[in-house]
Amino acid sequence: MIPKSGHAPSAVVVGGGVVGLACALRLRDRGFTVRVLNDGTPRDAASWGNAGHIATEQVMPLATPHMLLSAPRRMFALTGGALDIGWRYPGTWLPWCARYLRASMPATARRGQAALRVVLVRSLPAWRRMVADIHAGDLLLEHGHLMLWRGPADPAPAMRSVLRADMGSATARPMDAAELDALVPLLGHAPRGGLVFSGTAQVSSPGMVLETLRQRLSADEGCELLDCRVAEVVSTPSGPVTRLADGTCLASDVVVMAAGVGTRGLVRGWTLPLIAERGYSIEWDHGGAATVPPMVFADHSFIVSRFGDRMRASTFVEFTRADAPPDPRKWRYLEERVRGAGLPVHSAFSRWVGCRPTLPDYLPAIGPIPGMPGVIAACGHQHLGLTLAPLTGELVAGVAVGAPVADLLAPFRPDRFHSWMPAATTRNINGENRP
């Protein structure tokens, strides 16, 4: 994909979330002039409202036999769990679920685990490189995280199960009595059990990560950030062309598709089975609580992170249309769980909902799109968008200049679902037929 001699290489990045911005940063490092095209505000990005957790331990993909069999007891409608489906929109989630069933077979799940392990072990070093290069080391906090149990059941079996799991480069150990008692000033009680994870991290604020990257790129004469809507990306014999909604056409040597769930349907001749896996979060003023690493409350499957003078709680896996109305019950659920956990609340709760772009095998799509020279995928990162963003940027830039990254990217090939897709028509994220 290295452009012909005689002109500086150019790139268009479709998507202004953390993945798109990280790709733009690394393309600039490789000498490309870059345009980042984003439709909406940074708050709309899935990377804005998440827990800020650098999840190096999440080696096991969520497409596994265990997750499939445990789905009924996780359903929000049945048990009050964190899993829900937009039943009113079967055209959106039913085709995706059929592919998820296929991806959850044991052999496929094992391959997914091996693939995630390889990239997750590289994710934290990539974060260190990125914050060093943009002179923003305070964005990355390497103090691990906690997993806590506070319900009436004995937590020992659940803790043993977690400790036996593949955590990649992360490690975990049981908390001792003194460590549990140290949480009493924050929670008003000592949890019944807990684990301390090392080798994971968090960001000081997801919003600050986005803003810092935008400022860094905006200050670079070789980069332009544009607020606009992309109508279509077309691969032509002379290179890719990005057509905007206002009719403007942008030619470039490279186009990077990093628009999250909005990537689906934008590239003529290529459609991914992406679904909007929505998450919900609430945020509030903690009133000067002590600094604490992210805390996963395992009994109710939610995570709480401290960002300066604010705390944020996040949970839910909701498969639905990207534009479906939010479900207020899920915010109320989080608010009740936060108060029930004893966390300090000194303000009203603010609310957020956003779409994780998720593929049926819970692996991202990263790499060149076959048959479309110059078009590179960087989407479908599900719960790992923040975690894998810096590494994705490095890999995409490597693809753009012909670096030897093919072996690392083989499990994430953007065309791996081709045989899973209907030949005549596909469906866009809102369930509408598209040729």
Over the stretch 64-112, which tens digit does the pLDDT of each residue have?
999 999 999 999 989 889 999 999 999 999 999 999 999 999 999 999 9
Residue at token pair 């990239």: 119
pTM above 0.85, yes or no: yes
Over the stretch 156-212, which tens digit does the pLDDT of each residue have?
999 999 999 999 999 999 999 999 999 999 999 999 999 999 999 999 999 999 999
Q: Comparing C-alpha atoms, which of 293, 61, 301, 63 is closest to residue 165? A: 61
Over the stretch 38-49, which tens digit does the pLDDT of each residue have?
997 666 667 778
Which of 2-6, 55-59, 362-366 is least confident? 2-6
Beta strands in 164-246 (DSSP E): 171-174, 193-198, 201-203, 223-227, 230-236, 239-244
Considering the chain, what is the average pLDDT of its residues?
Answer: 92
Distance of CA 51 to the CA centre of its chain: 10
Q: What is the bridge-based pairing of β-strands 375-379 and 254-257? A: parallel
**Total H helices, total E strands in the chain:** 12, 23
Ordered domains of the chain (ranges, CATH)? 10-434 (3.50.50.60)
* Bridge partners (DSSP) listed for residue 365: 379
